[in-house]
Amino acid sequence: MYKKVKTGIIFLLTALLVFSLAAAAGSAMDDSSYLSMLMEDFVTDDYTARVYEILASLCEINDFDIHIEYADGQLLSIDGMFSFFPVDSPETAEEALYEIGELLGINSMDSLDSFEPVTENYAETGVTYTMQQMYDGLEVYGRTVTVITDPDGITSGLSSGFLKGINLSTDHEKSYGDVMMEIEDTYHGNSPYISLIVYTLDPYETHPVMAYYIEYESQEGEPFAIILDANSFELLDQYSLVMTDDITGKGKDAMGEDKEFPVYLSGEGASKTYQLKDKNNNICLYQIDATALGGISLVSSDTNQWTGEKTSIAISAYVNTITTYKWWEKTVGRKSIDNASGEITVVVHNTTTKDNASWNCVTKRIKIYENASPSKLARTPAAGLDIIAHEYTHGVFQSIMGGKNLGNLIPGAINEAYADIFGCLVENINWTMGENVSKDKVNGFRNIANPLSTKNPVKVGGKNYIDPSKIVTPNSDNDYGGIHNNSTIISHAAYLMLENKIPVKDLATIWYQSMLNGYDASSKWTRVRSNVLLAAKTVSLKPEQYGMIDNIFKTAGIENEPLKIVLSWDASCNLDASLMGPLANNPFEFFDVDKASKEYTFLKIPYASLDKDVTTGPGEETITIANETPLLYCYCVRIPGSTETTNLKDTGAEVNVYRGASKIPVATFTVPDTPGQYWRVFYYNSLEGTFETINSMSD
């Protein structure tokens, strides 16, 4: 079987070679050598042969214009068509994923890996289908893949949190009954929802464990989710299921402005009542009512007269929700939070020790809390259009994610960032959050244009950054790992895109589409960058604008962990390093980075560069792979013709490869004790994130 597949690929690649010969003329290694390197050195089994066959096919159907992004051996995204067949349902979306299963890391149809539909989202730009990764019939928590299609159902991209290579026994010691007792005895909760899962989030990516995902209500009635090891009940993760902006205060008469708004007339005669209910947009305004069924009742008036302090709070919440609804519908075509004209429920007059607004992930309601004393706010949270739009966006985010909540730490900060971005856009592009509510009328709670002024960060690891990796137990005291605090890293990026002349409509479309492209509980900061760059293809941007967006994220400390290849030698001579790798839009053509061509970019985005070139030794030369493309890289060292030294073995040359900021090399290569002026050092297989030593010498 392998020989047949390999023969077929050689035929296909030969056809591609004829197409691309002109593009690579003059390179240090010609196309035939590159093709030979691919076929003979790496296509060594049916699985690898199938990977290369898929890549060659994708290049062909995209007319050699496709971008596939990998990091550390995991597929992150595909920007281009990847299925021959139209996708018009979750079932056909799953079939499309199996067509490229080997790229994700699924070795065969007999694999324990599979998918289950989570949600499908419709927009003007097309449809996205989010699929949950499964393993042996169990959910792999926080791992999803989103299939992106155009309006005609043709696949146009993919965003992936899929984790390949899971090899885990699903046996476990603790039963569902044990979990019920644990929740009652240890967490003092009730009415739990329990699901057995495979848990793979950091630091368990390399050694997954069996776990229970549990939702329950605390004694105080607050909904929580926790994840417990299914063998030891070790607490792996926990978070609140209330998305709150953690604001406090008490409002008066809202903004003091006259408003006209729709009401609904219910009943007749003596039973007639007017209700804050927008039938056209399906928005209902409730208040806490201990005497009513379910503890809430519609805010109403017998005479259609709306006066009083509490009523003004309800009016603000109501009108701001209607305004938010209309913005989403007009700007990106989304009808209601669920995009299916479902009811939007807002509940006011909740009592608490602090004033705030929240999106409740369990009841799926916007809630306004009041009566805190003393107040730290100028007005009720209901008075802030950006605050209502913020909580509304949390609902949209949860709906797009198939009803799931992303939890704490980085995924939670991503969620909060989107809520702030759309909160600012809805409020007429005002880049301060809560300035109409906060006593700080200049900066509000978070100044997105100038985050440092509200003691928020603009960069991962920078000033005011809360490092999630140092948070042992996320809770309200540490902002659940900095979810509100760190969110400005992402929201400030959106602000900078607007400042750099991305039109408002395009900005809204890009960030909405990037949300549709999918997130999950495994999402890192770099997932936002990938999703935004994918989404940017849905609007007409110039090539330099892609580079601008990439640079904004890079400035914010959001970039794939680069590979730094450092050549060092101790002889008094000159050595030259070179790197050959696959193009960003066609992995069967290649680039060279060396002293003659020091950088390779695509759409103004840097992919590889010679950062340090030393002309006399002893010294160091550094080549960096900033963004990885799929297939094979080859790194070589040579002695220039003008150098008196004739043998590399006499130079003490050594090559160390570093990932990210680590000072510990992931691979080290020492020049062999063999005569020669040209040293082929190693291959790097970006599909697997692995190195293979070559160590061949020639003249």
Most confident of 188-202, 213-227, 262-276, 590-604: 590-604
Say which CATH class 176-240 falls into: alpha beta
The pLDDT of residue 317 is: 95
Spatial CA neighbour of 588 closest among 4, 156, 2, 37: 37
Helix (H, G, I), strand (E, B) or coil at 118: strand
Which residues contact residue 428 at a Cβ distance below 8 angstroms, ignoring those fewer than 6 apart?
none
Q: Is the pLDDT of residue 494 over 90?
A: yes
The pLDDT of residue 37 is: 56
The pLDDT of residue 642 is: 60
Average pLDDT over all residues of the chain: 85
The torsion defined by the Cα of 34, 35, 37 and 43, in degrees rounded to 10, comes to 150
Q: Is the pLDDT of residue 10 over 60?
A: no
In whole angstroms, give the CA distance from residue 235 to residue 227. 6
Q: How confident is the model at residue 211 (pLDDT cuts 50, 70, 90)?
A: very high
| pLDDT (average), residues 221-243 | 84
Percent of the chain residues topping a pLDDT of 70:
88
Q: Which residue has the higher pLDDT, 53 or 127?
A: 127
Spatial CA neighbour of 536 closest among 516, 514, 554: 514
Q: Please report, for the chain, how many H helices and E strands are present, in that order.
A: 14, 33
Residues 66-92 pLDDT 10s:
888 888 888 999 999 999 899 999 999
Strands (E), 424-562: 432-433, 446-447
Query: Worst-scoring range by mean pLDDT, 95-109, 117-131, 502-516?
Result: 95-109
Q: Which residue has the higher pLDDT, 327 or 106?
A: 327
Q: How confident is the model at residue 371 (pLDDT cuts 50, 70, 90)?
A: low
Q: Is the pLDDT of residue 375 over 70?
A: no
Distances from the Cα of 672 to the Cα of 26, 87, 273, 565, 648, angstroms: 29, 53, 90, 18, 8
| pLDDT (average), residues 553-564 | 93
The dihedrals phi and psi of 405, each to the nearest 5 degrees, come to: -110, 140
Bridge partners of 156, per DSSP, are: none
Q: Which residue has the higher pLDDT, 407 or 397?
A: 397
In whole angstroms, give the CA distance from residue 8 to residue 378. 72
| pLDDT (average), residues 292-305 | 85
In whole angstroms, give the CA distance from residue 67 to residue 77. 8
Residues 166-188 pLDDT 10s:
889 999 999 989 998 988 888 88
Distances from the Cα of 602 to the Cα of 66, 248, 435, 548, 605, angstroms: 11, 47, 41, 12, 5
The pLDDT of residue 244 is: 55
Q: Is the pLDDT of residue 25 over 50?
A: no
667-670 vs 283-288, strand pairing mode: unpaired
Distances from the Cα of 181 to the Cα of 173, 174, 222, angstroms: 14, 11, 19
Query: Before 374, cis peptide (omega within 30)?
Result: yes
Q: How confident is the model at residue 513 (pLDDT cuts 50, 70, 90)?
A: very high
Q: How confident is the model at residue 307 (pLDDT cuts 50, 70, 90)?
A: confident
Q: Is the pLDDT of residue 321 over 90?
A: yes
* Longest Cα–Cα distance in the chain: 106
| pLDDT (average), residues 275-300 | 87
Which residues contact residue 113 at a Cβ distance below 8 angstroms, ignoring those fewer than 6 apart?
104, 105, 106, 133, 134, 135, 164, 166
Q: Could you please report the per-residue DSSP string of 268-300?
A: -GGG-EEESEETTTTEEEEEE-TTSGGGEEE-E
Helix (H, G, I), strand (E, B) or coil at 541: coil
The torsion defined by the Cα of 54, 510, 519 and 407, in degrees rounded to 10, comes to 170
CATH architecture of 406-557: Orthogonal Bundle (1.10)
The pLDDT of residue 260 is: 84
Q: Which residue has the higher pLDDT, 21 or 160?
A: 160
Domain edges within the chain: 176-240, 247-322+333-385, 406-557, 563-698
CATH 2.60.60.30 fits 563-698, yes or no: yes
Q: Is the pLDDT of residue 253 over 50?
A: no
The pLDDT of residue 248 is: 30
The pLDDT of residue 325 is: 97
Query: Before 618, cis peptide (omega within 30)?
Result: yes
Identify the residue whose tokens are 């990885």: 628
The pLDDT of residue 614 is: 83
The pLDDT of residue 203 is: 78
Q: Which residue has the higher pLDDT, 353 or 214?
A: 214
Q: Is the pLDDT of residue 11 over 50?
A: no
The pLDDT of residue 366 is: 95
Helical spans, DSSP H, in 309-406: 309-332, 385-400
The pLDDT of residue 39 is: 54
Q: Is the pLDDT of residue 220 over 80?
A: no
The pLDDT of residue 545 is: 92
Spatial CA neighbour of 568 closest among 651, 647, 633: 651
The pLDDT of residue 40 is: 58
Q: How confident is the model at residue 144 (pLDDT cuts 50, 70, 90)?
A: very high
Query: Worst-scoring range by mean pLDDT, 245-259, 417-431, 432-446, 556-570?
Result: 245-259
Q: Is the pLDDT of residue 465 over 60?
A: yes
662 token code pair: 């680590």
Identity (one letter) of the amino acid at 125?
T
Q: What b/e string do you get for 267-277 counting C-beta neighbours within 10 Å, with b at 16 or more?
A: eeeeeeebbbb
Q: Which residue has the higher pLDDT, 565 or 294?
A: 565
Q: Is the pLDDT of residue 34 over 70?
A: no
Spatial CA neighbour of 3 closest among 41, 36, 49, 35: 49
CA angle 522, 541, 84 (to 5 degrees): 65
Residues 330-342 pLDDT 10s:
999 999 999 988 9
Residues 85-114 pLDDT 10s:
999 999 999 999 999 988 888 866 556 678
| pLDDT (average), residues 472-485 | 89
296-298 vs 300-301, strand pairing mode: unpaired
Q: Which residue has the higher pLDDT, 9 or 78?
A: 78
What CATH number was assigned to the domain covering residues 247-322+333-385? 3.10.170.10
Q: Is the pLDDT of residue 644 over 60?
A: yes
Are the C-beta atoms of 194 and 176 separated by less than 8 Å?
yes
C-alpha 91 chain-centroid distance: 24
The dihedrals phi and psi of 185, each to the nearest 5 degrees, come to: -80, -45
Are the C-beta atoms of 245 and 358 separated by less than 8 Å?
yes
In whole angstroms, give the CA distance from residue 614 to residue 45. 40
Are the C-beta atoms of 510 and 535 separated by less than 8 Å?
yes
pTM of the model: 0.80
Q: Which residue has the higher pLDDT, 345 or 202?
A: 345
The pLDDT of residue 314 is: 92
Query: Before 503, cis peptide (omega within 30)?
Result: no
| pLDDT (average), residues 538-543 | 86
In whole angstroms, give the CA distance from residue 499 to residue 48. 45
In whole angstroms, give the CA distance from residue 362 to residue 536. 33
Q: Is the pLDDT of residue 218 over 80?
A: no
- H or E segment at 420? helix 409-426
The pLDDT of residue 15 is: 37
The dihedrals phi and psi of 385, each to the nearest 5 degrees, come to: -60, -40
